[in-house]
């Protein structure tokens, strides 16, 4: 099996077999977002600029064929940089993103209210990870402490709060290590599945997703805890809190359309 989701070919990227998504013969949204985020991050060479927000618009299904990605700096100020990125396939724009980078600095240590959330502990690493498994996903439902570890198709089929720890097992491009930002962006796509999964499984497909970060994650695991799900007339929105091994790092948000036909990927049925 390949060790990455894309291989470079001239000025483009060729998806490997691992990059197929759960909605049919097209690229998975987390790899589309990962490639857009990686390209945006490469447009910023100032280490004091914090990647604070990335919004990915999934404009149309992306075929399992070569894609091209390019970025442009829309605003470059003293305290922020805004980078737009587009993905094209056969000269058609298939996805795009907007990334906001903010300058780090000192802030007053005052107390501000936030929703208290308890994440389950990260499960032990498996002794062996199947070579064709692109992601380790440990999902939890209802009770993150007393509840048992499970997989999405069982632990998520209810109307209560849901939790997940995810870890990429493959690289994104060639043999290039995943950056903390790219790892968070790829995990952020799980927000849609986590927040829109109900008693009848997953009945919504996301048209976009946004990741916001107060800081970059530490370690290889990204945690998600569902916070809200609202729907009306076939349109849904969902928000999750993102974690690393030391605590919360930001939020994920996904807007979606009603759409049956989700095929559970191997990462969600491996315990």
Mind listing the domains of the chain with CATH numbers?
4-103+117-268 (2.40.160.210)
Residue whose entry in the numeric block shows the structure tokens 């997953």? 202
As a whole number of angstroms, the distance between CA 11 and CA 166 comes to 30
130: phi then psi, degrees, rounded to nearest 5: -55, 140
Which of 25-29, 84-88, 89-93 shows the lowest per-residue confidence on average (mean pLDDT)? 25-29
Report the percentage of the chain scoring pLDDT > 70.
94
Number of H helices, E strands in the chain: 4, 16
Residue 134 binned pLDDT confidence (cut-offs 50, 70, 90): confident
Is the pLDDT at 270 greater than 50? The verdict is no
Residue 146 binned pLDDT confidence (cut-offs 50, 70, 90): low
């Amino acid at each position: 099996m390949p060790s990455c989701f894309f291989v470079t070919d001239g000025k483009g990227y060729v998806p490997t077999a691992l990059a197929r998504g759960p909605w049919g013969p097209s690229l998975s949204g987390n790899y589309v977002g990962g490639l857009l985020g990686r390209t945006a991050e490469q447009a910023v060479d100032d280490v004091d600029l914090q990647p604070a927000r990335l919004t990915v618009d999934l404009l149309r299904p992306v075929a399992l064929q070569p894609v091209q990605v390019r970025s442009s700096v829309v605003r470059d100020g003293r305290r922020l940089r805004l980078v737009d990125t587009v993905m094209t396939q056969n000269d058609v724009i298939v996805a795009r993103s907007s990334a906001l980078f903010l300058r780090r600095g000192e802030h007053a240590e005052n107390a501000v209210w936030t929703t208290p959330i308890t994440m389950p502990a990260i499960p032990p690493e498996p002794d062996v990870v199947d070579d064709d498994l692109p992601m380790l996903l440990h999902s939890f439902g209802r009770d993150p402490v007393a509840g048992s570890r499970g997989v999405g198709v069982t632990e998520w089929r209810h109307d209560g709060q849901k939790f997940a720890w995810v870890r990429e097992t493959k690289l994104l491009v060639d043999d290039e290590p995943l950056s903390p930002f790219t790892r968070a962006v790829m995990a952020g796509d799980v927000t849609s599945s986590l927040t829109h999964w109900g008693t009848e499984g997953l009945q919504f497909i996301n048209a976009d997703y946004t990741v916001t970060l107060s800081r970059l994650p530490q370690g290889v695991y990204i945690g998600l805890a569902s916070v809200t799900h609202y729907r009306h007339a076939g349109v849904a929105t969902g928000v999750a809190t993102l974690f690393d091994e030391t605590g919360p790092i930001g939020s994920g948000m996904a807007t979606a359309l009603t759409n049956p036909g989700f095929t559970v990927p191997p990462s969600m049925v491996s315990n």
